[in-house]
Structure 1
């Protein structure tokens, strides 16, 4: 199982982790799920702080990077849980976040070319 292999790799890399991870890899996957949720939540904090700083509603590029990072980790967690609802939601979300980054890059490229 993927979770067991991941847990074993973590135990090799970080020997101070409890050996119970090898026998109960679901513990590691719960940590992975919370980490993904934390990354995903950071996008709102980044957006809020940037908007407060500029005095208007702004979506900074870091918002999209946190969306991709958190969404990818949550997608891995959903695949491990075999949860089709979360898999569909995060999979579609990742497409949208990547598309937004592409549109931002294309807009910046066309702006710099016209200058």
Structure 2
């Protein structure tokens, strides 16, 4: 019997990659929660966007590999938005210097 549909070593590797991506994506909420608790207000730290981009990209690649349109269509817009937010953050920091 295969574990979560992983019947080959390559399937297992992709499963681990997909799970790692989802873990990174989930970590963004932990980072945001901790930052908000420390600030005593809802804040969005830059690390939130990095975790979003890294996790979303990994899950997107997993979805592409598995040819899963739901995952692909669910992650693709987010990866673009996370990238744009990071671009704007870094652009704003350069303008402040």
Q: Counterparts of 1:42 and 1:59 in 2: how far apart (Å)?
A: 13
SS at match of 2:43: coil
Q: Which residue of 2 aligns with 1:74?
A: 59
1:81-112 Cα distance to aligned partner (Å, 9 max, x none): 10112112211111000100111112222222
- RMSD of aligned residue pairs (Cα, Å): 1.7
Q: Flag the structure with more relative contact order, 1 or 2, with Cα contacts below 8 A and sequence separation at least 6.
A: 2
TM-score by length of 2: 0.86
Q: Which residue of 1 aligns with 2:17?
A: 32
SS at match of 2:42: coil
1:14-93 mapped onto 2 (5 Å cutoff)? 23-93=8-78
SS at match of 1:25: helix
Shift of 1:24: 3.7
Q: Counterparts of 1:108 and 1:32 in 2: how far apart (Å)?
A: 33
TM-score by length of 1: 0.74
